[in-house]
Amino acid sequence: MGRECIILFALLATFLGCKDDKPEPVIEDEFAAVIPPEELKEFGFNLNDYVVKRDTIRKGESFGVIMERYKIGYPKIFQIAEQTKNDFDIRKLQLGKPYTVLCSKDSLQQALTFIYQPNREEYVVLNFKDSIHAFTSRKPITYVEKEFGGVINSDLSQTLSDGGKSLLLAYKMSDIYAWTIDFTRLQKGDHFKIIYTDKYIDDTIYAGIDKIKAAYFDHKSEPFYAFEFETDSVKGLTDYFNEEAKNLRRAFLKAPVEYKRISSRYNLKRRIALYGNKIRPHKGTDFSANIGTPIRSTANGTVTKSAYTRGNGNYVKIRHNSAYETQYLHMKKQNVKVGQYVKQGDVIGWVGMTGNTSGPHVCYRFWKNGKQVDPFKQKLPEAEPISDSLKTRYLDFIKPLKTQLDAIQVKKSEGLEHTPEEDLITQLD
């Protein structure tokens, strides 16, 4: 009996963690939501039946510490942990994440249910009111379609910001037009229109941008349409095509990161003052980005190198087919191993400053038939076009979207007043 007690208390020590004499201040989470009094249902429970306690995970806090605070004893805590471990590992509670405890409506106010929110949409329920069980679910999501049009005065991000719109729209648009428009060289007077959807949790909590359904960009007086279309309903595959059903994407992404600027281009005649103005060829393209920015494979392929050298730092090299290879230098850390197959857009590492580099960026190198070349000057293969069997359906599908796009009024971004809703959305983004 004594040996069993020792084991039991050892396990409980893991669940309970260390307690401080003084509680840490509550850490506000960006998506911790306060439910208005009139909304009495949440997480599938009628909140009128309970005393509802809301908080966030504090430093040094564990499930056991929280439960003890709400009058749950050690044996019951151990029982809950054991019976729910296949559905949720209570050791994975993260600092700053919100949780809700439903307590009995009596003088004891003992915990009956623990609800943890790992992100805005998901929640985990550990119910021990009667029987002990756990499950994961999602809050209902509402999608609201919106429109916006703007004129470029300095850059796309500024135009969107002036219009009270999330800068995530700029990233999504740069992905859509990656091979048709160079967003670092937009001209004043270029203009665009977009139809996109925003996500709301429980109809009221803004949860970010879902997707861009259709877009129009007038660059250098040349129109570029883009329409999202599902090409495989079984696999849920979608892509963007123009008004003639041509794919806007190429077999390769134009850039491996969401970058601030191109700090150095492919240049075989580059001279560096630090080396006495001697010619030092630069056979890559440097994309400046913050440390930790995800680096993505620009095409499907197999990892042939994931290593470290003094010059390259942490780097990854990928063979895409018999003709093309790419390499990604100066990573903070790699996310792939040699022999691993990756798909276009998969995260293969993160931006860092390893190797010979003066600032955070990724040096992107490109081989064609064994020779390093400038990818921006290559005529690269296109992505798969819409099949003939889908083309007629696609053209019918985009007709109303094109009409809707053409009808959007483009407003000048200078001096544009923000609505309260737009200001709120900008803050939440």
Burial of 342 (0-12, 13-18, 19+ CB in 10 A): buried
C-alpha 298/C-alpha 285 separation (Å) is 13
Spell out the residues 6+ positions from residue 398 whose beta carbon is closer than 8 angstroms to its own: 214, 227, 229, 243
**Whole-number average pLDDT of the chain:** 83
Instruction: With cut-offs at 50, 70 and 90, classify the pLDDT of residue 412.
Output: low
User: Would you call 158 helix, strand, or coil by DSSP?
Assistant: helix
Q: Quick check: 22 pLDDT over 50? A: no
pLDDT tens per residue across span 351-399: 999 998 888 999 999 999 999 999 888 887 777 778 888 999 999 999 9
Q: β-pairing, 191-201 with 141-151? A: antiparallel
Instruction: With cut-offs at 50, 70 and 90, classify the pLDDT of residue 264.
Output: confident
Instruction: With cut-offs at 50, 70 and 90, classify the pLDDT of residue 423.
Output: very low
Q: State phi, psi for 116 to the nearest 5 degrees.
A: -115, 140
Residue closest to 52 by CA, chosen among 104, 106, 118, 14: 104
Percent of the chain past pLDDT 70, that is, above it, reads 84
Q: Quick check: 6 pLDDT over 90? A: no
Q: What are the angstrom distances between the C-alpha of 70 and each of 79, 102, 110, 160, 253? A: 16, 10, 6, 47, 52
Percent of the chain past pLDDT 90, that is, above it, reads 49
Instruction: With cut-offs at 50, 70 and 90, classify the pLDDT of residue 269.
Output: low
Spell out the residues 6+ positions from residue 23 whose beta carbon is closer than 8 angstroms to its own: 58
223-235: average pLDDT: 88
Domains and CATH numbers, the chain: 2-138 (3.10.450.350), 142-249+385-428 (3.10.450.350), 261-377 (2.70.70.10)
Q: Quick check: 425 pLDDT over 50? A: no
pLDDT tens per residue across span 57-110: 999 899 999 999 988 998 999 999 999 999 999 988 999 999 999 999 998 899
Q: Comparing 8 with 43, which gets the higher pLDDT?
A: 43
- pLDDT for the residue 270: 66
Q: Structure pTM? A: 0.57
